[in-house]
Amino acid sequence: MRAMKRIVILISGRGSNMAALLQAASAEQWPAQVVAVISNQANAAGLATASAAGIAARVVEHVAYPDRAQFDQALSAVIDAYAPDLVVLAGFLRILTPEFVEHYHGRLLNIHPSLLPSFPGLDTHRRALEAGVKVHGATVHFVTPELDHGPIIEQATVPVLDTDTEDTLASRVLEQEHVIYPRTVREFIEGRYALVAGRVVRHPV
């Protein structure tokens, strides 16, 4: 029997992707347990969702630390206390130091609301509309020190409609995020792929 994997999720707000992960893990009986949800914002709504699910909900406020490096060190200490096999960023709105990223090399995932490498950073839906692209979407990737440029694991696409606003486009992209993120997290814990020499390598089931 395979050992139960341990997952820590990092959030900054409502945690809709976190909720999608928790729902999928329960419904599909993943060989994994979300052992903690950690936020850099004490008022993050997702913390209540985690607590209601019986999951440890922790806060490490970035404003309590004088710089990014000291915050990341404190955050790592809290994460490592849970001995995770995987750390999942789910709307965690902090730029991480290279030292933090390297510490979790090959076991740190993120989802970004664009088809990377297009539109890294913020305001992706507005920028997609301004650029006039016909297809938009979301990307799950391994985290590397370069913001939103890690090796791509999976992407989902949505058409950009002539009638779209930022909100309508964001809503359709978020629906796809809730599909592909649980799937890629489950595939990771099942050992279906890994980060090898900077590339995503798929393994036979």
- For 172, the enclosing helix (H) or strand (E) is helix 166-189
- Identity of residue 164: D
Instruction: For residue 151, say if its preceding peptide bond is cis, omega within 30 degrees of 0.
Output: no
Question: Do 115 and 135 form a contact (C-beta atoms < 8 A)?
Answer: yes
Q: Please spell the DSSP secondary structure of 61-109, one letter per residue.
A: -GGGSSSHHHHHHHHHHHHHTT--SEEEESS---PPPHHHHHHTTTSEE
Exposed / middle / buried, residue 187 (Cβ in 10 Å: 0-12, 13-18, 19+): middle
CA atoms of 101 and 122, how far apart (whole Å)? 20
Residues paired with 86 in a beta bridge:
7
> Is position 62 annotated as part of the catalytic site?
no
Q: Point out the catalytic residue in the list 62, 103, 112, 125.
A: 112
Single out the residue of 82, 101, 118 nearest to residue 195, CA to CA: 101
Q: Map residue 163 onto helix, strand or coil.
A: coil
| Per-residue tokens: 112 | 């970004």
Beta bridge partners of 42: none
Active site positions, annotated? 112
